[in-house]
Amino acid sequence: MNYHLVLTRRCNLNCSYCRGGEEDGPNSDIQYSLDDLKRFLQTDRNLQIMFYGGEPTLRIPLMLDIMGRFDGARFMLQTNALLLNKIPFDHVKKFHSILVSIDGPRGTTDGYRSAGVYDRVVGNVRWLRSNGFEGDIIARMAISEQSDVYRDVRHLLDLTDPSFDHVHWQLNVVWDAEDNWTDFDGWIRTVYKPGIERLAREWVERMEFGIVEGIVPFLPIMHGLLTGESSGLRCGSGIDTFAIHVDGRIGVCPISPDWDFSIVGDIWESSPADLKDTMSVDEPCPSCGEFELCGGRCLFANKERLWGEEGFKKVCGTVEHLIGRLRSKVPKVQSFIDDGRISLQDFSYPEFNNGCEIVP
């Protein structure tokens, strides 16, 4: 099972699209003992821990303590990377994957996250590379109204010093649209959809030369189109992926500790076996024609509908468009597989659920 372990709800940034930011006080940090945590997790025979926040690197000693208690676990980290180089490298190299929050070039990233963030993030990813980190480094983008998906994704893919193995994005469409968007419909029509089309076209063009770039939303969706395999909810929330909040409660998703629907147990009374397949998405997702590829997009959005029914459908339209652009490329991609330029395995991603929700 996969556990997003929330080390603190505090964060050292206050990004414009986030409902997080500085969250100080007695309820912002872990309130249970690590012995209790170990008693809960030690019964899981395939344990994966994703350090999460807030910003987990604000609690590096706690992180190292936990890593020492679970030698057989697979570790991952989701971080804004400002303090990444403060983690001892003998522990850093134990991470299978590190998801680094960065939104594109300097102007885009600093515009959302504050001045100087881009350079610090890039510098710390360079530190990872220079020390020989062999795990998966993922640029995890948040895309909002000042973003150009083609420009910003392309920038991160084209970086060479340092380089990212994969690039993933999420649309800023979870929380209330008020104060986040002035013209969502216009942005989707004139920026996002054309950007997706151009990214998909160029992604496939590069395959002629044996190159399959690590565009995360494209890889597993194309794999599903090629194989016909059904995905289920791709993030795994409520299925095999859960969050352990700072108060010891267990939720289906790390972003929703304050919504009662999401809490399914706690570390004292529950067991990992109790949690599996606790929750699934509601209609209209299971009846949608793209459900087998999309899987329901986002469990939290499906349950809460903070954008209302009309807004929910608008976001689904962006997913349908993305899948449609990739579906149109299947014959070309299959031809490149058939002639040996690339292989089906190139699209098999992620190796383990790594915190990429896959579907934007």
Q: What 8-state DSSP symbol labels residue 29?
A: B
Asked if 81 and 100 count as a contact pair (C-beta separation under 8 A), the reply is yes
- Please, what are the averages of pLDDT over each run of 10 residues along the chain (360 residues)? 96 83 72 97 94 96 97 96 98 98 98 96 98 97 96 98 97 79 95 98 98 98 96 93 96 86 94 93 96 95 91 96 98 98 98 94
Residues linked to residue 101 through DSSP beta bridges, in sequence order = 140
The whole-angstrom separation of Cα 189 and Cα 186 is 5
Q: Collapse the DSSP code of 222 into the 3-class scheme (helix H, G, I; strand E, B; otherwise coil) and give the result.
A: helix
* Separation of alpha carbons 121 and 138, rounded Å: 12
Query: Bridge-partner residues for 249, per DSSP?
Result: 266
Which residues contact residue 261 at a Cβ distance below 8 angstroms, ignoring those fewer than 6 apart? 303, 304
**Helix, strand counts (H, E) of the chain:** 14, 9
Q: How far apart are CA 42 and CA 28, in angstroms?
A: 25
Rounded distance, CA 357 to CA 234, Å?
Answer: 6
Domains of the chain are 2-183+201-216+235-279 (3.20.20.70), 184-200+217-233+280-340 (no CATH)
Q: Residue 49: helix, strand or coil by DSSP?
A: strand
pLDDT for residue 344:
98
| One-character DSSP codes across 125-149 | HHHHHHTT--SEEEEEEEE-TT--H
* Residue 215 and residue 153 in contact, taking contact as beta carbons nearer than 8 Å: yes
What does the block give as tokens for 282? 């509601």
pLDDT at residue 256 in the model: 79
Which pLDDT score, from 0 to 100, does residue 16 have?
87
Which residues, in sequence order, are CB contacts of 31 under 8 Å at separation 6+? 246, 247, 248
Peptide bond into 286 cis (omega under 30): no
Would you say 241 and 279 are in contact if contact means Cβ atoms under 8 Å apart? no
**C-alpha angle 355-358-360 in degrees, rounded to nearest 5:** 115
Question: CA nearest 251: which of 238, 232, 234, 233?
Answer: 238
Query: What is the secondary structure of 196-219 as a DSSP string?
Result: HHHHHHHHHHHHTTT----BTTHH
Q: What are phi and psi of 186, to 5 degrees?
A: -65, -40
Calculate the CA 19 to chain-centre distance: 17
Residues 6+ apart with CB under 8 A from 227: 344
Q: What is the pTM of this model?
A: 0.96
Rounded Cα–Cα distance for residues 297 and 291 (Å): 9
Identity (one letter) of the amino acid at 262? S
Query: Rounded to 5 degrees, what are φ and ψ at 128?
Result: -55, -50
Would you give the distance in Å from CA 184 to the centre of its chain? 22
